[in-house]
Structure 1
Amino acid sequence: MNPLDKLPEEMDELLDGFMTHAIAGDTTVGLTNYIFWMCVALALMLVAVFVFKKKQAKSLVPQGTFVNAMEFVVEYVRDDMCKSILGDTWKKHFSFLSAIFFFIVANSIVGVIPGCHPGTGTIGVTSALALCSFVYFIVVGVKRMGPIGYLKSLAPEGIGFPMNVPLWIIEVFSTFLRLITLAVRLFCNMFAGHVVMGAFAILASLFVQPLLQGFSAVALGQAGASIFWIIILIIIYAVEIMVGVIQAYVFTLLSSVYIQLVENE
């Protein structure tokens, strides 16, 4: 039997596994598989930060691979995503931006574990993250300029009535569009990556099954194909982790840029 004959059935099961299923209650008000693994990722992130701060406090000089790696990432977020964009105001926003970055990275790491369903794999969680970023930079703008001043700042300066009205409407639409682009970009990249990983895992398992049933020329040939798919799968896993980090970087960077726009109005 050709292992590929089982592929459509396995793909249907894979896609069903990425759907939202209730663990407790129902999918509307209960605990779902995505929310559960999001909580796991959040717990892992908090533990990592706690251990990092505890180990860091023991010595002025970073010691150990974990502490050095964490310090490198924290400094990268501080210098590349905060200081370089926000300038003198970076300290006010560093905690928020670093929390977003580490949360997305933690979910990406959980996402490469077979059977896990990270929060960033569902549009609900990515929309909530985008909403947090959206509300944050709106609040920063309102606190800095006041509600009326912030609304006025959406219209380009130097353009009088009535031309400034359609431009103001376009800017308001553009501002709300940021919410959609942040949510959809993160969700699509994470979901697509998980589906690709699952597909390659299925191909590897389908080709190795005949070898487990007995050694033969055909089985050995299929085992060779399985080894090929396993190698590809390992590469895909590495790429998926990198994509997760890149998406965390892009999401955090865009949030920082949006904050900088209202800080410099």
Structure 2
Amino acid sequence: MKLNSVPPKEGYTWIRQGIWLFKQNPLGFLMLVFLYIFAAQLAVIIPVIGVFAVLLLTPTLSVGFMTACRQAIQKERISPMVYLIALKSGALIRKRILQLGIVYAVLILLLSFVLSLLVDFELLIPLMTSDKPITPEALRQIYLVLFFGAILYIPVAMLMWFSPVLVAWEDMPVAQALFSSFLASWTNKSAFFAYLTIWSVVLIAIPLTVGMIFDAMDLGQAASFIIAPISMAGLTVMHCSFYATWKACFTEDEVIPSA
């Protein structure tokens, strides 16, 4: 594999390519994202084990969605079974992709521990279990969770962005895949900054603004009927654009025929 360095404007190009890819099979991609969200919500009902299972299988599911992107480009049918393709790719890849899942679970556990030292979660728990109005201090803690959580997750994201595909498609050992993913993300950090900034506006800022406008008009319940499908489509397009980041940051070495 050859690592590429791309200009910052490539971040916008990745999103455009994600939109194009989504258009190739919108129903298939929406089905995959819906199944993932539905399965994750069911899993987290089971204390501890459910959350660990979701984290463990995240690299496996990532490979599945990236494979679906390949299939859409080749005009092949997308099946939910694509999520299991990494586990069916042989004993070595199956072992490595599950090891990668364990690494991811441990990293998220460490991130959560550090975050608990920075934020008062005891103040936030009552907000999830009651209808009491949000106090200014609770709102401050919410912003701290979002801010510190995003900062702490950046190195985790850099390690995990490409590593599942490098393990499953390029037969890399786990350590090498993690290093290569981090290196590719760092090399193209300007493009990723532009890319993630745009998605933050699309998936967070715009829905919050629309929700505030509807709340001001006393139409808060109606807002969910508008925001939910738009957010679902946006989330699906974002997942499709992951494949564009892969194709831009890595290229396969060309085999030069002998004379």
Structure having the higher Rg? 1
TM-score by length of 2: 0.28
State the TM-score, normalized to the length of structure 1: 0.28
Structure with the bigger RCO (C-alpha within 8 Å, sep 6+) is: 2
